[in-house]
Amino acid sequence: MKIKNSYYEGLLQDLFCGNDGFFVIFMHFLYQFNQIFIFYPNFEKDFEKLYLLELEVCNILSRLIIEIGGDAKFYSSTKKYLSGNIDYIKSLSSIVDIDLELVEKGLIDVKNVLSKIDNIRIKTELRKIVAYKENEEKILKDIKIKLLTI
């Protein structure tokens, strides 16, 4: 699919590396995974799944951006380089609450972009991202339930 579409490119670029973009969420989850094995080892596999799902989301977006003529650099559609916030907290309950908020906002963002795109191939790939985000949400809600039993 080689179609040049700067509007679609901007939408996808913001999902990929905007302020609340999925690459920021990936870095967030990766940091947590690298900490979790020390502080909460029984949740290590859950956080590994989270960062791997988010990595796949980033791979999908970067491929789409390149396919439509973009460059998938680490900046927003306005060329503001990646500068998202990562929460360096250690409380598992707080981590899960923040992560749920990030994932839920990501779901809203990708569904919003889905509504603005007509290209079937891009829509198909974005629906995969919705499924990944819903899976992330389920993992986090399951962690929250496990925390209530500890």
Task: Write down the pLDDT at residue 90.
Answer: 77
User: What does the block give as tokens for 12?
Assistant: 């996808």
What average pLDDT is seen over the chain?
A: 90
Domain boundary assignment for the chain: 6-148
Lowest-confidence region among 46-55, 77-86, 117-126, 139-148: 77-86
Query: At residue 75, what are phi and psi to the nearest 5 degrees?
Result: -150, 165
- Mean pLDDT for the stretch of residues 4-16: 91
Instruction: Give yes or no for residue 80 having a pLDDT over 90.
Output: no
What local confidence, expressed as pLDDT, does residue 83 receive? 61
Sign of CA dihedral 134, 140, 143, 144: negative
CA proximity to 65, closest of 134, 17, 109, 120: 17
Q: Find out if CATH 1.20.1260.10 is the number for domain 6-148.
A: yes
